[in-house]
Amino acid sequence: MTIQFKPDETFRDEFRYANSDAAVLRFPFPFPEDAYMYSVNIEPHVPGGATPAFDNPFDVDEHYVAECRERARVLEQDPSRCKVLPHMMAAQWDTLELIMESLATSYPAHFTLTREGISWTWENRPLGIRDSFTFGDASTLPLPPFEYITRQAQGDFTLQDQRDDNLFIDAGMVTTQADWSLDFDVGMSFHQWHGPVPLAHQKGVFDRALKFLLRLQYGAPVRRLNWTMTVNPRLDTSPENYPQWGPDRTTLTAENIGQKLHLRVELQSLFRLPRSNAILFGIRCYLCSIEDLARVELWGKRLHRVLRDLHPEIADYKGTTRFREMAVAYLAPFDDGADLPVGTAPRQDTLPPTALPLGR
């Protein structure tokens, strides 16, 4: 499969970003029901799902080149967005191997990995990269292994070291995060990292998730979806850069909210690594405007209901309080109140040029 990339897209300043119809239809819409509440919601990370976004271990789409360029730009401005504690070298090589093997298998038209013992050659044609190196010898790569390969993948990554019946975030490449800081969180335990999340702790969500992840097996990765909302198609919504993106929320109006407000979905995947026994946590970010989402009839109706009925504490934590009523009002004409099936598959193969109001 050959992907047509959009290298001139930008995720800041003028925001030259748009989803093709195919990209809209492959969006990993996160709401299988009309109401939302925190849950563990983990399933096996195997090929197949509601959209093609779930078909491969690491998804590559039309935004790949532009997103990798944005990552390089963030790292140039703030190198601390990639941090690896010294004891995580084996996990670095595990990560490099997993991502290289996966991309070369899933997208052979774009990536090639050639191995002769420990002599490896990696070719990334979309980014114009070709490097030969000795597996296990970091001096033969232009960058440390974890940084080298995660610069060439969409989404963020953290490495969780397992010790003392807990998981610790001891490495990360984080440039597309939804308002959390790797610099602050590195070294934290599982519950410390998730401390700010409301309601979920009382419901035991993180206790159950940790118990499950401590037993995660090599060769049996899992996935889940998480979501928030972002004004403008901005990938870097880090606390460090809040002065750049925080004021965006004040720019929404009833006239522009459809185009400017984006549902931000994270396809989170977890892989047990073979040598280090660490867990690679992939946080693949997708952005889609609510205007485009409303072109998918099921999604427009369901997003209206989820936002309308969202628990106030969750709405506040997700940062939607300022604009939620405006978003609900925008989406209301696309919801006729009809019963919807459980699930997230779009149930249509083509999109209308614009979302069609349905009335009530």
d(CA 131, CA 141): 8
d(CA 87, CA 278): 11
Q: Where are the alpha helices (DSSP H) in 78-186?
A: 89-106, 145-150, 182-185
CA 184, 186, 192, 197 torsion: positive or negative? positive
Q: Are 148 and 154 in contact (CB under 8 A)?
A: no
d(CA 110, CA 128): 10
Burial 213-234 (b: 16+ CB within 10 A, else e): beebeeeebbbbbebbbbbbbb
Alpha-carbon torsion angle 349, 350, 354, 355, nearest 10: -20
- Residue 200: phi and psi, rounded to 5, are -65, -35
Residue 87 in tokens? 């004891």
Q: At 238, which amino acid appears?
A: S
Residue 103 in tokens? 């991309």
Residue 252 in tokens? 């929404």
DSSP letter string over 293-320?
Answer: HTTSHHHHHHHHHHHHT--HHHHHHTT-
DSSP bridge partners of 124: 111, 129
DSSP 8-state class, residue 202: T
- Choice among 224, 264, 272, 295 that is catalytic: 224
Using CB atoms within 10 Å of the CB of residue 118, give its burial: 0 to 12 exposed, 13 to 18 middle, 19+ buried: exposed
Q: At 79, which amino acid appears?
A: P
With a CB cutoff of 8 Å and minimum separation 6, the contacts of 105 are none
224 tagged catalytic: yes
Catalogue the active-site residues: 224
